[in-house]
Amino acid sequence: MNEPREFATDLVDHYLGLRLDAAGSPAGLRETVIDLVTDALSEHVEPLMGTQLDLLANGRRGQFPDAYLADQAAAEDALQHAAAGLRAAFAQAGHLSGAQNFERGAAARLRDDPRAALRAELSRVPRPLTRPKELGWSLDPAPWFSDSHQADGPWPPSGFASVAGLRSLPDGAASFARVDDGPHAGWVQIGLFERQRTPTRRYPDQPARQVQVVVGLEAHAGDPPPGTLPVSQAPWKLWTHPWRRLALGLTRAESAAEHISTTNQALVAVTDVGTTGLIDVPRSPSGLGLPPYVLAPAARVVAALDLEPAHGICGFSLSDAIGEALIGRQWHGRFVHDGNYEPLLPAVAGADLLIRPDLFTRLHDTIGPTRCRAGISVHHMSAADQNDEAFDAED
């Protein structure tokens, strides 16, 4: 490693930058963390990480495995060691404060928060077959990629062209799929976000490829603008905090319902946690193990239906007086190979939103039958080399 301090600086900015910013960038903390990471790199991180990559990844490809590697562990360990002396450093500079409140506040801003990742894990299900009939072609995951190196399927996949130019599904609210069986049979899928991605393969040669499918409930008096996504933005804490306690600018359920009935808007949202997401969604400090996307209902939907976070240990779930009202699900799967017979990341990762049928009817009536739309956006891209940044920019 020729420039360990430069590499350490990049690690700190990448893994810890959001939390340091949220803590107000205390004087000297970032520099101290970089110093500690630099020392760790020269002592043990480089050989340990090399061993990890030999065991967990194929060294001939550029994509790191989905694992907690030594570089991230070193950055986290350095932050916690440096932050442990933060109050003493402030005291030496003449800034005194109550120990308990200071420590609690610093910990809340600097800790690696695992709550969203834990809820995402609790919401995981086997990949569901629920999706609008127009997207039936997407049920076969990544058909263009054959592990056996036999003839691959067409690219873009068959059926893609039939929806590539659509921004709304033709049957409006009737286009949304319903769950066939299980505990949520009959519930309506008002949001779907799935990415199917395969790596660059060396033999036979094939570029990295990706298909992204998005479906979302929208309120719109006309056709939604082309080139946009049928999703908005929302804080993931809509799943965990009563909407009246969040700084959302919402105070009454009635006003939220009126806004939905008169304003063009997406009513499904990509939240501020996840490993990827909308380009202009600011990322929140979050823990390991997050899926690519965490969906939520738009804040005004939560307010208009007056939903509250479900009690007890659960994934993404909101309730009303009757019981469970709206849930978010996660899935990923189909591990594929790049020709070197080494395991890679899942080729398919997705999320959806399900709403109880009676609440869907109520929400549909609030939107208005002529304004209720099933928005859709389907994209594909191909790259000569597997490039996460290029793919995620398309998201």
Tokens 């690690």, residue?
Answer: 11
Instruction: Look at residue 342 and tell me whether its pLDDT is greater than 80.
Output: no
Among residues 41, 56, 55, which one has the least CA distance to residue 11?
A: 41
pLDDT surpassing 90 at residue 360: yes
Neighbours of 138 (CB within 10 A): 23
At residue 70, the pLDDT reads 86
What is the mean pLDDT of the segment spanning 1-12? 83
The whole-number pLDDT of residue 325 equals: 97
User: How close are the terminal C-alpha atoms of the chain, in Å?
Assistant: 33
Comparing CA positions, the residue from 238, 210, 216 lying closest to residue 229 is 216
Residue 33's closest CA among 117, 89, 114? 89
Q: Per the structure block, which two tokens stand in for 253?
A: 């359920």
Cα–Cα dist 119/240, whole Å: 10
- Please report which confidence band the pLDDT of residue 195 belongs to, taking 50, 70 and 90 as the band edges: very high
User: What's the length of the chain?
Assistant: 395
- Tell me what pLDDT residue 386 has: 46
Radius of gyration of the chain (CA): 23
Give yes or no for residue 258 having a pLDDT over 70.
yes
387: pLDDT strictly greater than 70: no
Nearest to 147 by CA among 322, 309, 287, 347: 347
Q: How confident is the model at residue 315 (pLDDT cuts 50, 70, 90)?
A: very high
**pLDDT band of 279, cuts 50, 70, 90:** very low
> What share of the chain in percent tops pLDDT 70?
79
Structure tokens at 151: 């003839």
Give yes or no for residue 60 having a pLDDT over 80.
Answer: no
Interval 111-170: pLDDT, tens: 667 788 889 999 999 999 999 999 999 999 888 887 665 667 889 998 999 999 899 999
Question: 206-219 burial by CB neighbour count: b if 16+ within 10 A, else e?
Answer: bebbbbbbbbbbbb
Q: Determine how many CB atoms are found less than 10 A away from the CB of residue 150.
A: 7
Q: What pLDDT is stored for residue 290 in this prediction?
A: 81
Q: Which residues does 147 contact at the CB level (< 8 Å), separation at least 6?
A: 336, 337
